[in-house]
Amino acid sequence: MIFNSKNKHILIFTLLINSFFLTAMPKNEEETSEIKIDEYQTKKFEIFQQIIDEQKSITDKMKMIQLLKEIRNYCDANNIKNKDLTFVTSENNPFIYQSVEEIAKKLEIPAPLIFKIKVPYANACATNIDKDLKFSVMLITEELENLLNKDELKAVIAHELGHIKHHHTEKFDKIMNTVTITTGIASLAIYLYLSSKAGLEIEDMPKTLAALSIAGSTLTLFNLQKMIIESYLSRKNETQADLTAAKNTNPQNMISSLTKIENNFQKSIDTYFNDRDFFIDKYENLKKEINNEKINFFKKLYLKFKLHNAIESEIKDQIDLENKIVLIKILGSHPTTENRIKTIEKNYPKSNVTTA
């Protein structure tokens, strides 16, 4: 549900009504129950508390709580359950832990917290919330760990640490916040200027509508400009992280990891389309079989209509995904895998890399 002001008022009204009836009704002690915490959430809280307790000052504790909230928000946004979140230590995953420590030392940055998440896709990400990089975290999916060999996984770890090393999150947020504020102010200024010129009297309504139309078009252009800047900055950051990984591990390993991740992503896309093709085929077969069914004309027509809508729905899903893929290629956060590999090869020609 989108939490706009209208929804908020409805929710408050509903809560007040519920509160009135619940207060008026006699409570049965047997029916009341406390919020339950499962073993996985309890374990997560224990780990988070341990991490917070390790901080020496109140300020550091507050920053660490903020970082842990970022992890929670990421899990909420991606529907990651408590049981699918594992805090990586030298005991439960020595290779990842030691690799992060080793490369972080090489890059002269503090080693981040590391969490492994169980999701059906291969990915890794990293962020920090402090200028001295003391408060940073890296998330690695279990699928990524299973997909890559150890050298390739090291290269991806170096890539993510490159984001932290170069303050990418901090710089990106600062620039985009400035762009957002500037866009908002500029749009408002244009609207106010045009409105003042057109006037807001009833007899000037055509001019007022024209002013609103121009202001709306200007805002759309500003938002498009914002998307372009966002894409440019993000792709620039990804390229810098790629080169950091290539320099501090091995260019070939970075390239092979990119190739495997791309193939894995393409496999999931193919699965999506194959699933829809299967049901389209089944619906098409039923359309043919209807002609042989001994049912009245109107029922036959109704069934054909339903099958037609079902087929159109499956096709729409495919078209929507195709459009999203095109948009990602144009304004996505990452350069295409092909371009990323070319950039690495261009900067490290002596490595004699190949794109297997």
Does residue 104 belong to any structural domain of this protein? yes
Q: 185 with 258, same domain? A: no
Does residue 199 belong to any structural domain of this protein? yes
Does residue 28 belong to any structural domain of this protein? no
Q: 263 with 274, same domain? A: yes
Q: What is the pTM of this model?
A: 0.78
Q: 54 with 148, same domain? A: yes
Does residue 309 belong to any structural domain of this protein? yes
Does residue 281 belong to any structural domain of this protein? yes
8 Å CB contact between 182 and 299: no
Does residue 278 belong to any structural domain of this protein? yes
Name the β-bridge partners of 117. Answer: 85, 141
Residue 232 structure tokens: 């440019």
For CA atoms 206, 212, 218, 224, the dihedral sign is: negative
Residue 156 structure tokens: 């991806």
Q: 44 with 79, same domain? A: yes
Residue 166 structure tokens: 């170069």
Q: 306 with 261, same domain? A: yes
- d(C-alpha 222, C-alpha 237), whole Å: 22
- d(C-alpha 234, C-alpha 166), whole Å: 13
- Nearby residues of 83 by Cβ (< 8 Å), 6 or more positions away: 40, 118
Domain end point (choices 148, 165, 182): 165
Q: 302 with 231, same domain? A: no
Q: 238 with 260, same domain? A: no
CATH code where residue 102 lies: 3.30.2010.10
Domain count, the chain: 3
Q: 155 with 192, same domain? A: no
Q: 137 with 238, same domain? A: no
Does residue 29 belong to any structural domain of this protein? no
Rg (CA), the chain: 27
Range of the domain at 280: 251-351
Domain end point (choices 248, 275, 297): 248
Does residue 176 belong to any structural domain of this protein? yes
Name the β-bridge partners of 128. Answer: 136
Query: Which pLDDT belongs to residue 223?
Result: 79
Q: 215 with 232, same domain? A: yes
- d(C-alpha 294, C-alpha 300), whole Å: 9
Q: 85 with 203, same domain? A: no
Q: What is the 3-state secondary structure (H, E, C) of 119-148?
A: CCCCCEEEEECCCCCCCEEEEEEHHHHHHC
Q: How far is CA 193 from the centre of its chain?
A: 38
Domain end point (choices 112, 134, 165): 165
Our CA dihedral for 275, 279, 282, 288, rounded to 10 degrees, sits at -140
Nearest by Cα to 118 from 150, 70, 86: 86
Q: 183 with 222, same domain? A: yes
Q: What is the 3-state secondary structure (H, E, C) of 45-86?
A: HHHHHHHHHCCCCHHHHHHHHHHHHHHHHHHHHCCCCHHHEE
Instruction: Match 């193939």 to its residue by tokens.
Output: 263
pLDDT tens for each residue of the chain, 356 residues long? 443 444 444 443 444 444 434 444 445 544 445 677 788 899 999 999 999 999 999 999 999 999 999 999 999 999 999 999 999 999 999 999 999 999 999 999 999 999 999 998 899 999 998 888 999 999 999 999 999 999 999 999 999 999 999 999 989 888 988 888 887 787 777 767 766 665 555 455 666 666 667 666 767 777 788 888 888 999 999 999 999 999 999 999 999 999 999 999 999 899 989 999 999 999 998 888 888 887 888 888 888 899 899 999 999 998 998 888 887 777 788 899 999 999 999 998 864 544 43
8 Å CB contact between 117 and 141: yes
Residue 191 structure tokens: 């609207």
